[in-house]
Copies of this chain bind each other. A is one copy, B any other.
């Protein structure tokens, strides 16, 4: 029993493992990102990182837009916003045209935090893909995109 290492990849046939493999790679990336964040002394989960990223890149937007953008449930988004607002990284402002909605915007603190995080992000992705050539990285991205579309537009 002891020392009996069961590497999921060692015994998985190529065909069956796509779903599993994706999960493994993703969880390693998440783990690596969160480790990098922690090393920087930043207390953020991967999801929160994605939320800040989206806000930093696309500017202020509604909570719903944000939720759709990161594929997160609306209720979960409310709670993440609570946390991020509590940490001082963003602000809930009233929406100009729509009184139902919020305008979520980064605070100055949130913006300056993002400048640290953007490197962190690239470091991890670079490390993950370090054994892939530029052409291979493009192909990987292309394949994944095509698989995603195949799953979504199921004819």
> A residues within 8 Å of B by Cβ?
1, 4-6, 8-9, 11, 14-30, 32-33, 46, 50, 53, 57-58, 62, 64-65, 68-71, 97-98, 101, 121-122, 124-125, 127-132, 136-141, 143-152, 154
Complexed CA–CA distance, A25 and B141 (Å): 11
Which 7 A-B residue pairings sit nearest by Cβ, starting from the closest? A28-B151, A22-B26, A19-B29, A140-B143, A131-B146, A14-B141, A6-B69
Tell me whether A58 and B11 are in contact (CB under 8 A).
yes
Complexed CA–CA distance, A140 and B98 (Å): 45
Complexed CA–CA distance, A115 and B62 (Å): 47
Nearest Cβ on chain B to A19's Cβ, whole angstroms: 4
